[in-house]
Amino acid sequence: MRFKTKVKSHIKEIREEYNLSQQELADKIGVSRQTIYYLEKGSYNPSLTISFKIAEVLEKPLKEIFYQEPIIKDILKNKTLEELEKISSEVGITTNKLIKLNNIDIELDNDFTKLDLEKIAKKLGMKFDDLFEE
């Protein structure tokens, strides 16, 4: 099984290395400052044209700027330890096992059954198909 992923970027970190403001980067790329804001926030996926322009302006390969991250990581990182303990108790797994989901890249190992993952998704207020692929 695999996690469903979303595209994330290192645009903010790289932009700050170059001491560029969002507006300066936007001007060089030919987009609005708001576009840079949403790219950095992770709520907007750029077209290929904009992606290549960003790579050109930042003088980095695409794979150093953009990467895929499991959706579940954003969900788990916003949970307190107390919330994670409650979820793991209700699902019937250890808290460490639940936290382990936050450290797995894309492929899930055999430590998790489909039933475990379905229960975890439900306790996180999600559907299994929104977080995992078979």
Boundary residue ending a domain (68, 87, 105): 68
Helical spans, DSSP H, in the chain: 11-17, 22-29, 33-41, 48-58, 62-65, 71-77, 81-91, 95-100, 114-123, 128-131
Task: Tell me the per-residue pLDDT of 22-48, one tens digit each, with 9 for 90 and over.
Answer: 999 999 999 999 999 999 998 888 999
In tens, the pLDDT along 53-94 reads 999 999 999 999 999 888 898 899 889 999 999 999 999 999
pLDDT at 10: 96
CATH code of the domain covering residue 41: 1.10.260.40
Q: Are 14 and 63 in contact (CB under 8 A)?
A: no
Q: Give the tokens for residue 31.
A: 């987009």
pTM as predicted: 0.73
What CATH number did the domain enclosing 106 receive?
1.10.260
Q: For residue 35, give its domain range.
A: 7-68
Per-residue pLDDT at 127 exceeds 90: yes
- Residue 2 lies inside a defined structural domain of this protein: no
pLDDT(105) > 80 = no
pLDDT of residue 111: 80
Task: Please count the structural domains in the chain.
Answer: 2
Above 80 in pLDDT, residue 107? no
Phi–psi pair at 8, nearest 5 degrees: -125, 170
